[in-house]
Amino acid sequence: MSHYSARSGIITITLYRSIPMSELNPQESDAVFGGQNLPPINAAVLGGEVGIKKRLQYEKSIARENKFWHNFKYLHGFSQYIVFEPHVKIINPQETAYFLRDYRYNPPPNNISFEDKFDALVKQTRASEVEGLFFGCLSNEKLINILVDNCKKLKKLKALCLGAISEDEQMISEIYHGDISRILLAYDKLEILQIRGRYLRFCTKLHHQNLKSLTIISGGLNRESLLDINELDLPALEYLEIWLGSKEYGSNSSITDLMPIISGDKFPKLKYLGFKNCEYTDDIAFELARSPIIEKLLELDLSMGALGDDALSAVLSCPMINELDKLDVSQNFISDGFIAEKLPQFKLNCELITEGQRQVYPYDDYGNEINEREYRYCVVAE
């Protein structure tokens, strides 16, 4: 991987290994059963500018792939997670996130249904103190019904993840959620919502006073989902991460659909903005270069997409670029020549991440020169 330090002007190269999604999702053997609190630099607080900056510090020490559990754990302030089974007692619920999962293949001995696991959790006397839950459920519409029906038993829930299931059991393009707005209406104290999957909607225009972080990880997010997000009233939102995905798997949006967010007016408290895993990253970059939103952000993330040299140059030429703490353009289509020769000319005073760039072969099977931009692709689709 390559990492460019704006302050030193040095590019360092190290080996880069792609980690399969099956390694990134929580495993039962990952459970921590207490006594391993992290040092302060690794334990980001919920929300706030301090929390975002803590996250930025921590990200320097972890792999650049967005590990689903690691994001939940460190972005949202939990020091441990426990795979919940009926025999597990709720302990230290302010620092512990509980993981409930289904099994499509090879369930462990004496496995019970997801519904029975959830019922066992909410029947415990300390269920009302639980602040973090994440789910690997094969039927997320059923899960949403269960969560809504039990909202009074989970009064302090602040952080919720849906779709934490390995690709061996369910590919990201096969994960359907339905109407997410029902969760926001039921849980008015929710601060963090992280969703992994393809089809999701926010069918109700709503106001949510406390939501600070919204992450949508998709291999093909449809236009209707983005239009729904544009209709949400989230005055506390500081962190917005959207993986837009491939048109082959349902992504039919365009730059026009993102303009309410890019303008900077929609979510005025935003400190982190990520338009990731996108096939039209160039269009996003050109619009961001003209937007005042960069002046407000601490971090801008355009990684895993189809960004090229010209669009990156436009962003780096923005007068407000050095108001950022970090700009992540890793895993795009930026040329080695641009990284080696052009980047030092910008005199950047923010951290720029450029690792894992890809290339498109400039000729088709018949030796004809192609339009390289048309053949760029995002990282995650199926």
Domain ranges within the chain, ordered by starting residue: 2-375
Q: How far apart are CA 47 and CA 65, in angstroms?
A: 22
Residue 101's DSSP bridge partners are: 136
Q: How far apart are CA 348 and CA 295, in angstroms?
A: 15
Mean pLDDT estimate for the chain: 82
- What integer is the mean pLDDT of 52-69? 41
Q: Tens of pLDDT along 76-118?
A: 678 888 899 999 999 999 989 999 988 888 888 888 888 999 9
Residues in the chain: 382
Predicted local confidence at residue 73, as pLDDT: 55
CATH of 2-375, one of 3.80.10.10, 3.90.1150.10, 2.60.40.60, 3.40.50.261: 3.80.10.10
Predicted local confidence at residue 42, as pLDDT: 33
Phi, psi of 363 (to 5 degrees): -130, 150
Amino acid letter, residue 136: G
Predicted local confidence at residue 68, as pLDDT: 54
Poorest-pLDDT segment among 37-41, 91-95, 270-274: 37-41
- Please indicate whether residue 323 or residue 35 has the higher confidence score (pLDDT): 323
Predicted local confidence at residue 362, as pLDDT: 73
Contact 298, 326 (CB under 8 A): yes
Q: Residue 197 pLDDT more than 60?
A: yes
Q: Which of 260, 199, 197, 265 is nearest to 227 (CA)?
A: 260
For 11-71, the DSSP string reads EEE----PPPHHHHS--GGG---SS-PPPGGG-PPSSHHHHHHHHHHHHTTS-SS--HHHH
- Please indicate whether residue 47 or residue 93 has the higher confidence score (pLDDT): 93
Q: Tens of pLDDT along 275-316?
A: 999 999 999 999 999 999 999 999 999 999 999 999 999 999
Predicted local confidence at residue 107, as pLDDT: 82
Q: Tens of pLDDT along 369-378?
A: 777 777 899 9
Predicted local confidence at residue 345, as pLDDT: 95
